[in-house]
Amino acid sequence: MINILTSGLLALIGLALGAGGVWLILLDGSWYYAFAGLAFLIAAALSFAKRPVVLPFYALFMIASLGWAVWEVGFDWWQLGPRGGLIVLIGLWLAMPAYRKTLLVGQPVPEVKPTRSFVLEGSLVLAIVVAVYSMMNNPHAIEGQLNDSPVVSNPDLGGDVPAGDWHQYGRTPFGQRYSPLDQINTDNVATLEQAWVFQTGDVRRSEDVPETTYQVTPLKINDTLYLCTPHSWAMAIDAKTGQEKWRFDPEVPDNTDRQHQTCRGVTFYQDTAMSADASCAARVYLPTSDARLIALDANNGEICADFGDQGTVHLEEGMPYNPAGYYYSTSPPVVADGKIIIGGAVNDNYSTKSQSGVIRAYDVNSGELVWNWDSGNPEQTEPIPEGQTYTANSPNSWSVSSADEELGMIYVPLGNKVPDQLGMGRSEEVETYSSSIVALSLETGQVQWVRQTVHHDLWDMDVPAQPALFILHLI
């Protein structure tokens, strides 16, 4: 039975390779696959006839195939694997005692000589050596060194941020995540010493969801660090001493329906029209894991009651279903053009009745809704009327956006429609905006352009990173 199954498999592979190989020859392609198909058919016939010569024959075929593959693509594992993987696997099977014994059945005198067996085993060892070498080899590596000298003496880093400060998640509205400081460099970095340690006190609890993570990027404004913790606590810390200045606990209730329990950062805003020492002239906006956006006085952590509903914007408004645990913002919103613009995270693969991935812009001072862009209903950007809801299951933005006030645009990284692996029932709008970067007008929320990274995404390949903006100087 083993012999018959093996011979049949060899024959099927030979027929498939042979037919495809002839077609490839007619298309002026490689002749190898036609010859490989013939070799498999010969091996199938020898195996069926229980001729032990099948072992050295297959060994020679395997060596010839290995030589052809290396000649064609070199020692590139990712190209060698598809060319030789199946051939080597079948060679391993032919070398197994269970198969070799079938070649002796009915033979008056064993024909299998030790040297013939060694030929097959030797060819397998050679193939494994080539495979291991190829895995350790990178034929596409290009040795080089990046230019470490400034190309532009005074580059536009996107925002009036002092060199020693970090005002937004990506430092500036451009999201470049670049610091111009040069006091620490490759010569002295090894001699750095720890100045202070600060413990937030926020620890994972037994009732927390598995994805309870600390992912915050602190902001530094003047001599203060502003940050948030997984349970949405906001804190201000003295940047020089590590001493706590204030903390605010929004008292987010536990909810095991959440997929994530994290806070990637807060948003800072300075109202230049107000006196610098006035109450809430400088603000910290805190997104919470129960779908709130809270405005806090940056100086003392007290709620700014003139924002939204007594200091809070409720992000569940306009949602088609009860969002508790299934919708919240894990990333800091963007302040630009007098607006604070925020998206939200929607739990992956939990339901076909999930919340909308709407992007909303609120007046940064009052918290009044200015515009809303719903990728499931992209043309209606004026605030939806009372009683209307946003589109369920539309692609959402759980990451961080970038902005260019001079161009008047915000750049939003979008995820996929949930359930992520379910492809049916997707509208034309979903197919356009899912897993893409969308540029929206800061003034109206209307789409300016869209660049999709994965078409008809079934793999949850969200755009996960804040887009980085830069001005390219051609020299």
* Catalytic status, residue 148: no
- What is the three-state SS of the chain? CHHHHHHHHHHHHHHHHHHHHHHHHHCCCCCHHHHHHHHHHHHHHHHHCCCCCHHHHHHHHHHHHHHHHHHHHCCCHHHHHHHHHHHHHHHHHHCCHHHHHHHCCCCCCCCCCHHHHHHHHHHHHHHHHHHHHHHHCCCCCCCCCCCCCCCCCCCCCCCCCCCCCECCCCCCCCCCCCCCCCCCCCCCHHHCCCCCCCCCCCCCCCCCCCCECCCCCCEEECCEEEEECCCCCEEEEECCCCCEEEEECCCCCCCCCCCCECCCCCEEEECCCCCCCCCCCEEEEEECCCCEEEEEECCCCCECCCCCECCEEECCCCCCCCCCCCEECCCCCEEECCEEEECCEECCCCCCCCCCCCEEEEECCCCCEEEEEECCECCCCCCCCCCCCCCCCCCCCCCCCEEECCCCEEEEECCCCCCCCCCCCCCHHHHHHCCEEEEEECCCCCEEEEEECCCCCCCCCCCCCCCCCCCCCCC
251: which 2 tokens?
A: 């008292």
Catalytic residue among 208, 420, 460, 462: 460
Q: Residues 148, 150, 156, 157: is their CA dihedral positive or negative?
A: positive
The angle at the Cα of 346, spanning 388 to 315, to the nearest 5 degrees, equals 50
- What are the residues whose beta carbons fall under 8 Å from the beta carbon of 237, sequence distance 6 or more? 198, 218, 224, 225, 226, 227, 243, 244, 245
The angle at the Cα of 402, spanning 180 to 454, to the nearest 5 degrees, equals 120
> Pick from 178, 150, 181: which is nearest to 164 by CA?
181
Q: Among all residues, which ones are annotated catalytic?
A: 460
